């Protein structure tokens, strides 16, 4: 994307009206490119991009896959017979996932009281350096040297 959120917040109707026609066309072209790129990103799914299937939103998971047709039941079976089949009940299968019971289930991440890890080396501040762009991201004009002091008025 060419324009940041900060750039877009600074643009308003008054600013656009003050621009000469050639600059207005340049700004419009950049905005159009950003809009097309944003729409392309918005419409990406695991089916049409390299995104993994796990990135699909929960409400989209049922829509993407076609359900397989249910196999025909034998004529002698019905649902009441299926319910009475021998097999272990849910209580007999034991606790789910990793052998933890519901009472001892831990939250993911660092547990209270566990030793933490952090940076041991402290960096000393040796100087300050200002970084700024030399051109306007909206229209491409070269910014004056004191552009740092200008706010949205000097966009």
How much is the pLDDT for 31? 92
Ramachandran bin of 2, using left for φ above 0, alpha for ψ from -120 to 50, beta for the remaining angles = alpha
Report yes or no on 3 lying in a domain.
yes
pLDDT at res. 76: 47
Does the CA dihedral 37-38-39-43 come out positive or negative?
A: positive
Domain count, the chain: 1
What tens-digit pLDDT sequence spans the chain (155 residues)? 778 888 888 888 998 999 999 999 999 999 999 999 999 988 888 888 888 888 888 887 776 555 445 555 455 444 444 444 555 555 555 455 555 556 678 888 888 888 888 888 888 889 988 888 888 888 888 888 765 554 444 44
CA dist 68 → 7, 18, 57, 110 (Å): 49, 60, 21, 41
Q: Give the structural domain span for 47.
A: 1-58+134-155
Query: Residue 56 corresponds to which tokens in the numbers above?
Result: 């699909």
Q: What is the DSSP letter of 92?
A: T
For residue 82, being part of any structural domain is answered with: no
Structural domain contains residue 10: yes
- 99 located within any domain: no
- Give the C-alpha separation, 17 to 84, whole Å: 77
Inside any domain, residue 128: no
Q: Could you give the CA distance from residue 109 to residue 93 in angstroms, rounded to a whole number?
A: 27
Task: Answer whether residue 138 is part of any domain.
Answer: yes
Write down the pTM of the prediction: 0.43
Task: Count the Cβ atoms, other than its own, within 10 Å of residue 155.
Answer: 19
């Amino acid at each position: 994307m060419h324009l940041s959120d900060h750039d877009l917040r600074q643009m308003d109707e008054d600013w656009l009206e003050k621009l000469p026609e050639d600059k207005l066309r340049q700004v419009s072209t950049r905005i159009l490119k950003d809009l097309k790129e944003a729409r392309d990103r918005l419409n990406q799914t695991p089916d049409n991009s390299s995104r993994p299937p796990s990135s699909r939103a929960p409400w989209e998971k049922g829509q993407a896959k076609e359900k397989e047709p249910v196999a025909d039941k034998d004529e002698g079976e019905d649902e009441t017979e299926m319910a009475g089949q021998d097999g272990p009940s849910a209580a007999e299968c034991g606790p789910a996932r990793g052998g933890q019971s519901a009472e001892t289930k831990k939250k993911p991440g660092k547990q209270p009281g566990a030793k933490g890890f952090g940076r041991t080396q402290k960096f000393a501040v040796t100087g300050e350096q200002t970084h700024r762009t030399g051109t306007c991201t909206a229209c491409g004009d070269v910014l004056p040297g004191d552009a740092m002091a200008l706010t949205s008025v000097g966009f």
